[in-house]
Structure 1
Amino acid sequence: MRTNRLVLATAVLAAAALALSACAPAQTARADGSATLRPAVSGERRSLTVPGFGRVNSYADPRGTGRPLILTHSVNAAASAYEMRPLWETYAGTRPVYALEWPGFGSSERPDVTYTPELMAAALRALVAELGTDVDVVSLSLGGEFVARAALGEPRIRTLALISPSGFGQPRNGTQRAPADDGGVRLYNRLNSVGDLVYGTLRTRPSIQYFLSRSFRGPVPKGVIDYAYDTSHQPGAKYAPLYFVSGRLFNPDAYGTLYSRLNVPTLVLYDQDGFVSFDRLPLFAQKANARVVRIPDTDGLPQFEKLPEVRAALDAFWAEAR
């Protein structure tokens, strides 16, 4: 059983290389010759310091009017704000938009430290505090658990929109839950002992292309594969994903301890997803402030393949919530 879990976990690391928008090769050189990712979206790249961790980056376009919108990406082997680029391009210039890159991902620092759900929630709370005003938040996949955790303690988060969130159903392919006995610590230690070999295998172009194909109904654009390859080859890229695949970034009972306790208006967008399931969505839909919308013919990334439908659902949700 342990061996099976290890195999599943390593497969999930590659499978979690979710779709990023098609773009030019996404790295340039620093003055010291090392690689750095190009900006994930248009706008100003900003940094803030999260106590006990270090630098966390976000992108800012403060133009437009209305309540600021914060976009947060998923957690996977190649995660960055590129995952939310379609929504960024949709709303930038019409309302203030910010895209947070979680600790250990994208252009944020990637040190060899302990990554936890609370660290991720703290990063979002730090950005909200820096903005100093009420915000709407849209998050993807496992990021939904982090933003729900943050919203329970930050009243300035006024609405949540969760795209294909984890934590609403039973695990698939070894995902969504850490081993119950130790929270994934032993599995993490085993993966970490061979981390360079495991991660080096999973970030090859054939592996990335194969697993990205599970998140698209059509062909995966070459630019998507190129960017996934580039971001997974950044210094320190393996550290946070190892916590992800060992289950240590998932809440053991996200529905009971997070989603069921939310009092802010919350929208869930979903359809098919190879890595998360939605068994408890009918129960969640009964909450007074909850809304559930299916975006048909998508595999977990409707913002790429059904952007007009996603925007219509978001705009209707925000109008109702106001």
Structure 2
Amino acid sequence: MTTNLVSSPDSVGFGGVVKEYTWSWENQPLRVIYETIGTGSPILLLPAFSSVSTRAEMGELAKLLASHFQVTAVDWPGFGQSSRPSLNYRPEIYQQFLEDFVTTVFPTPITVVAAGHASSYVLQLAVKQPDILSRIALLAPTWRGPLPTMGANPQIADMVKGLVRSPIVGQALYKLNTTPSFLSWMYRRHVFTDDAKLTPSFIEKKWQTTQKPGARFASAAFVTGNLDAIREQSDFLALVQSLSVPLMVVIGESSPPKSRAEMDTVAALPKVQSVVIPGSLGLHEEYPDVVFTVIQDFLLSS
């Protein structure tokens, strides 16, 4: 694994200093883009995995936190502005990436604020290396991809992933499932709660994110559950119970019923701080001011 940090201009971030981190997986170099704003103790923001995943979804929250912290947000490999090669995307890639990124970029223990599916990866890292994280805030935490959540068995999920990865059929399927109308439907169904925020320009930016070369590979892995770092709710709860650092969970009151029930179960565990706020699975992007208000005391506490 090698690193190469290079400042560069950016037009799709949130006004911070944009840098490039060169990371290798199985001898293939990947260009990972991250952005830093503010001064103070370091906080890492991890966007949710999704077809439209990008550090920009954490941008407004990052700007609010920048008055107290040095805030870094990263585009996961395979998403955002980072490299999107046709890897067989799986949990091992992201587990190793997150560990390498944190230990390379941050010289001192950090706070992590993770959204959605990033939660499992952060919990696993915290249990494996408790000395490199100081506290964790999970925003609408999930652990299971869309197809498994809908009840698809692993064989069907793998078949779908294979189809989407194929050169011609896969490109067609992916385009059908990333049209602006489909993205708008997806957001209305379980990501945002205020339809007025789903403007044509908002959806256009999300659509552009999905159209980058190679975008379908990591997206297909997420949708089919192949980025699920754990397979059972009991494993997620066991990770939480094994933590040695403070944990806060922020829950959207309008989250899909199955996800909401699982979040509530986490919140009920001993020593877990929790709060319910407006929103659904995209609460960090839809209501960044509310998220900032409810987590700032937790993040600032010694």
From 42, 61, 70, the counterpart of 2:15? 42
The change in CA–CA distance for 1:64 and 1:181 in structure 2 (over 3 A counts) is: closer
**Are 1:166 and 2:142 counterparts?**
yes
Alpha-carbon deviations, 1:66-115, whole Å to 9, x = none? Answer: 2x010111111121111111211112253111111111000111000111
1:181/1:110 CA distance change after superposition, 3 Å: closer
Question: Partner residue of 1:19?
Answer: none
Q: How high is the sequence identity, in percent, across the aligned residues?
A: 21
53-62 vs 123-132, which moves further: 53-62
- The answer to whether the 8 Å contact 1:79/1:105 transfers is yes
Unaligned runs of 5+ in 2: 1-9
TM-score, normalised to structure 2's length? 0.82
Residue 86 of structure 1 corresponds to 60
Q: Contact 1:141 / 1:162 at 8 angstroms: preserved in 2?
A: yes
Q: State yes or no: 1:279 paired with 2:261.
A: yes
- Which of 210, 222, 225 is matched with 2:185 structurally? 210
Alpha-carbon separation, structure 2, partners of 1:275 and 1:252: 20
2:299 and 2:156 map into 1 onto residues whose CA distance is: 36
Alignment deviations for residues 179-221 of structure 1 (CA, whole Å, 9 cap, x no partner)? 6555943342234343111111122222222222332223202
TM-score by length of 1: 0.77
The corresponding residue for 1:30 is none
Match of 2:97 in 1: 123
* One-letter amino acid matched to 2:173: V
Whether the 8 Å contact between 2:147 and 2:224 is mirrored in structure 1 is no
* CA-CA distance at 1:275 after TM superposition: 8.3
Counterpart pick for 2:223 among 245, 258, 265: 245
Give the letter aligned to residue 279 of structure 1.
Answer: A
Secondary structure in structure 2 of the residue aligned to 1:139: strand
Provide the C-alpha distance between the structure 2 equivalents of 1:124 and 1:172, rounded to a whole number of angstroms: 19
Does residue 294 (structure 1) correspond to residue 276 (structure 2)? The answer is yes
Q: Which residue of 2 aligns with 1:225?
A: 203
Letter in 2 for 1:289: K
Higher helix share: 2
- Map 1:90-239 onto structure 2 (within 5 A): 90-130=64-104, 131-155=106-130, 156-167=132-143, 174-176=147-149, 184-193=157-166, 194-214=169-189, 215-216=191-192, 217-219=194-196, 220-239=198-217
> How many Å separate the matches in 1 of 2:24 and 2:128?
16
Gaps of 5+ in 1: 1-36
In 2 relative to 1, CA 182–199 (structure 1 residues): closer, same or farther, beyond 3 Å? closer
How far apart, in 2, do the equivalents of 1:151 and 1:311 lie? 22
Equivalent residues of 1:104, 1:237 under 8 A apart: yes
Counterparts of residues 301-312 of structure 1 (less than 5 Å): 301-312=282-293
The size of the alignment, in residue pairs, is 281
Determine the C-alpha separation between the residues in 2 that align with 1:204 and 1:282.
Answer: 33
How far did residue 161 of structure 1 move? 1.1
In 2, are the aligned partners of 1:267 and 1:317 still within 8 Å (CA)? yes
The whole-number CA distance in structure 2 between the counterparts of 1:186 and 1:172 is: 15
Shift of residue 276, structure 1, vs aligned partner: 5.6
Name the SS for the 1:279 alignment partner: helix
Q: How many Å apart are 1:125 and its aligned residue?
A: 1.5
Higher RCO structure (Cα 8 Å, ≥6 apart):
1
Which of 252, 261, 265 aligns to 2:246? It is 265
